[in-house]
Amino acid sequence: MAESRLACRECHYINHGDAQACENCGSSSLTEDWAGYVVITHPEQSEIADEMNVNEPGGYALKVR
């Protein structure tokens, strides 16, 4: 069975497993209802990271409902 991935409604970070709070920002507002996936490796050099207000490397959902 595939591991569930939960997206944070606040920062869009993708959390793995049975997280109760976002590993990136600490928010408890997590959802399975998300679409699109982007991996940001160097946020300080990324226009996408700038647009998404991302400061930490990782996987992020493009759309979170």
Binding residue positions for Zn(2+): 8, 11, 22, 25
SS (H, E, C) 6-58: EEECCCCEEEECCCCCCCCCCCCCEECCEEEEEEECCHHHCHHHHHHCCCCCE
**Residue list, annotated binding site:** 8, 11, 22, 25
